[in-house]
Amino acid sequence: SAVISQKPSRDICQRGTSLTIQCQVDSQVTMMFWYRQQPGQSLTLIATANQGSEATYESGFVIDKFPISRPNLTFSTLTVSNMSPEDSSIYLCSVVTGKYYGYTFGSGTRLTVV
Amino acid sequence: QQQVKQSPQSLIVQKGGISIINCAYENTAFDYFPWYQQFPGKGPALLIAIRPDVSEKKEGRFTISFNKSAKQFSLHIMDSQPGDSATYFCAASGRGGSTLGRLYFGRGTQLTVWP
């Protein structure tokens, strides 16, 4: 399965600022996903990022708030813009590898907005 | 709308006992059903997964039981150990339409195994 390096692992940010999270994969993958996990909650899909096309956002998530880049088949970034305390969550990237939809997750970015 | 429903929300089991977590789904387009284990401060890690062409899959102490007609699947942890204490998520994914390539997660079960 793929190995994902996600950075930063955690950050404490001031409200109104932005944070960019990086996701680096050790192999080329077509589909990359960004999830949010609010404290004590399940994982919610933010968007799907495919190389060469605009990211597809889920209901409740918009590009202005969570812009995503996917410059190549091994890398993606998620930016959390104009942060508020409600954005305090763990953000995770995930990739699909293999014939039978083997999903791998990064270790996550724990974001605290103060 | 919760595509995958998971229960119980929390579970306390004595060491050596059997932990059972249940999930149900509605969308018949789902054809891949993984279970993830998550420890505090870590991302979810794939534990075991099943496809609907089999009714059971076993890996070590972990077994998935799958009932296609009832649209239910469950995780059984045999001989539960304190190191199994974690949050467990069931999930589902499919090959077509809106299910293509994305995982739908249950709400999670916090398992505590007492020594």
Range of weakest confidence among A50-54, B3-7, B95-99: B95-99
The answer to whether B41 contacts A110, with C-beta atoms less than 8 Å apart, is yes
Residue type, A80: V
Residue A111 has pLDDT above 60, yes or no: yes
- In angstroms, what separates the C-alpha of B105 from chain A's closest C-alpha? 6
Q: Is B46 on the interface with A (CB under 8 A)?
A: yes
CB contacts, 8 Å: B109 with chain A? none
Contact map slice: A 61-90 vs B, CB within 8 A: 90
B88 versus A103: the higher-pLDDT residue is B88
Q: Which pLDDT value is given to residue B114?
A: 96
Q: Which pLDDT value is given to residue B39?
A: 93
Q: Which pLDDT value is given to residue A68?
A: 96
A64 versus A98: the higher-pLDDT residue is A64
- In angstroms, what separates the C-alpha of A27 from chain B's closest C-alpha? 18
**Closest chain A residue to B88, measured at CA:** A42
Please report the DSSP string for chain B in residue order: --SEEEE-SEEEEETTS-EEEEEEE--TTEEEEEEEEE-TTS--EEEEEE-TT-SEEEETTEEEEEETTTTEEEEEESS--GGG-EEEEEEEEESSGGGBT--EE---EEEEEE-
Residue A88 has pLDDT above 80, yes or no: yes
Q: Which pLDDT value is given to residue A30?
A: 84
pLDDT in tens, A55-67: 999 999 999 999 9
The answer to whether B51 contacts A100, with C-beta atoms less than 8 Å apart, is yes
Order of strands across the sheet with B56-59?
B4-7, B19-25, B72-77, B62-67, B56-59
- Pairing mode, strands B10-14 and A75-80: unpaired
B2 versus A48: the higher-pLDDT residue is A48
B46, B51, B108 member nearest A42 (Cβ): B108
Alpha-carbon distance values, A34 to A59, A79, B8, B51, B52 (Å): 14, 11, 26, 24, 26
Is domain A4-109 given the CATH code 1.10.287.3510 in the classification?
no
Q: Which pLDDT value is given to residue B68?
A: 93
Q: Which pLDDT value is given to residue A67?
A: 97
Q: How confident is the model at residue A85 (pLDDT cuts 50, 70, 90)?
A: very high
- Domains of chain B (ranges; CATH) run 4-114 (2.60.40.10)
Q: Which pLDDT value is given to residue B21?
A: 98
Mean pLDDT over A69-82 rounds to 95
Segments making up each domain of chain A, as ranges = 4-109
Q: How confident is the model at residue B96 (pLDDT cuts 50, 70, 90)?
A: low
The answer to whether B103 contacts A94, with C-beta atoms less than 8 Å apart, is yes
Q: Which pLDDT value is given to residue B41?
A: 81
Q: Is A109 on the interface with B (CB under 8 A)?
A: no
Residue B102 has pLDDT above 90, yes or no: no
The answer to whether A102 contacts B105, with C-beta atoms less than 8 Å apart, is no
Q: Which pLDDT value is given to residue B56?
A: 96
Mean pLDDT over A29-53 rounds to 90
Residue A11 has pLDDT above 60, yes or no: yes
Residue of B93, B103, B109, B110 best to disrupt the A interface, most CBs of A under 10 A: B103
